Amino acid sequence: MRNHLILLPGWGLGISPLEPLAAALQGLDEHLRVEIEPLPELESSDLEEWLDELDSTVPQDAWLGGWSLGGMLASELAARRGDRCCGLLTLASNPSFVAHEQWPSAMPGETFDAFLAGCKAEPRMTLKRFSLLCAQGSADPRGLSRLLLGGAPHTTASVSINGLEVLAQLDTRQALQTFRGPQLHLFAGLDGLVPAEAAQDLLKLLPDVEIGLIERAGHAFFVEDPHGVAGAIQAFFHEFSDD
């Protein structure tokens, strides 16, 4: 179903940040059906359990996409499904969110560990800090942060912590290399959570896929400019649409 796109949200902020983008995409193409699938709320940080849950709830034979953690999970699910996935779209989604020797263009491990500890000690304050990091690089960081935080769901602390632990485990490089369908990966030049260098490193890893860098934008770039981002996505989809 090349006219069906499933979007997975990032950590902590729920589906509302993706809603303007979904509306903009459907406004550009009345035949395109866009759904936002919430992340699993599991009392587990086992990655395979998360992927099993998504595989059982997300429709087959659709495009898969997502923001940050959602894009990483979409990448793993696309590799698992193979020909049963039409294509992959990621937004500000680093193959590895936490830096390691083979992928240095990511968040330092000690920074992530401090963030995880903060989530355990003061979950609401940590989410506020996270929303500010998402808004960093935007034209109105404080306004965007308030918008993101205002739409965040009231998730239990244990579910939030499990999500962070899944995020720390993920390394999607092999999944991205395994998946043979079309791929579009968009990054932001002023992202406070995913270094812009990750875009260039991903291009070295995947020289045959589409990778874009939006220079003057932050982690939530598609919230600031849903119509511009939707236009870029729609143009990419058009290359692979059924005639």
Distance of alpha carbon 179 from alpha carbon 44, whole angstroms? 26
- Whether residue 91 is predicted with pLDDT greater than 90 in this model: the reply is yes
For the entire predicted model, the pTM comes to 0.97
- 68 part of the active site: yes
- Bridge partners (DSSP) of residue 66 are 8, 90
Q: Does the annotation mark 242 as catalytic?
A: no
Q: Which of 45, 138, 145, 191 is catalytic?
A: 191
Q: Which entry of 68, 131, 138, 160 is annotated as an active-site residue?
A: 68
pLDDT at 33 over 70: yes
Which CATH number does the domain housing residue 205 bear? 3.40.50.1820
CA distance 113 to 97: 12
Q: Residue 240: its pLDDT value, please?
A: 80
Can you give the residue range of the structural domain that contains 171?
A: 4-239
Q: Express each pLDDT in 38-61 by its tens digit.
A: 999 999 999 999 999 999 999 999
Per the residue annotation, which of 96, 131, 219, 225 is the catalytic one? Answer: 219
Report residue 153: phi and psi, to 5°.
-75, 155
* Residue 219 annotated among the catalytic residues of the structure: yes
Which tens digits make up the pLDDT trace of 108-131? Answer: 999 999 999 999 999 999 999 999
* Residues 6 or more apart in contact with residue 100 via CB below 8 angstroms: 106, 109, 171
Helix/strand/coil percent split, the chain, to 5: 50, 15, 35
The token pair that represents 226 in the structure block: 């849903």
Q: What is the mean pLDDT of the chain?
A: 96
Eight-state DSSP code of residue 194? S
Quickly list H helices, the chain. Answer: 19-28, 47-57, 69-81, 109-121, 123-135, 141-150, 157-169, 173-178, 197-205, 221-224, 226-239
Look at the chain and report how many structural domains it folds into: 1
